[in-house]
Amino acid sequence: MKKLIAIDLDGTTLNVQSLISEKTEKTLQKAIAQGHYVSIATGRPYRLSHQFYRQLKLDTPMVNFNGGLVHIPEKTWENERASSVDREIVFDIISQKKALNLDFVAAENKETFFIDTFDHFDEKFFAAEATEKNLLNAQNLTTDPTSLMLCAPRELVGGISDTLMNQYGDHLDIRTWGGAMPILEVVSKGIQKAKGVAEVADYLNIKQKDIIAFGDEHNDEEMLEYAGWGVAMQNATDHIKSVANDITDQTNDEDGLADYLANYLSLN
How far apart are alpha carbons 266 and 129 in whole angstroms?
A: 44
* Catalytic residue chosen out of the listed positions 8, 173, 216, 255: 8
Distance (Å, whole) CA 193 – CA 219: 7
* Radius of gyration over every alpha carbon of the chain, rounded to an integer in angstroms: 18
Cβ(241)–Cβ(224) under 8 Å?
no
CA–CA gap between residue 50 and residue 48 (Å, rounded): 6
Cα–Cα distance between 212 and 107 in angstroms, integer?
31
Half-sphere exposure at residue 55, Cβ-oriented, CA atoms within 13 angstroms:
19
Is residue 121 a contact partner of residue 130, using CB atoms and an 8 Å limit? yes
The H-assigned helical ranges of 137-237 are 157-168, 193-204, 221-226
User: Residue 97 region, left (φ>0) first, then alpha (ψ -120 to 50), else beta?
Assistant: alpha
Q: Are 249 and 234 in contact (CB under 8 A)?
A: yes
Asked if residues 231 and 249 have their Cβ atoms less than 8 Å apart, the reply is no
Q: Which of 19, 25, 4, 12 is nearest to 214 (CA)?
A: 12
8 catalytic? Reply is: yes
Active site positions, annotated: 8
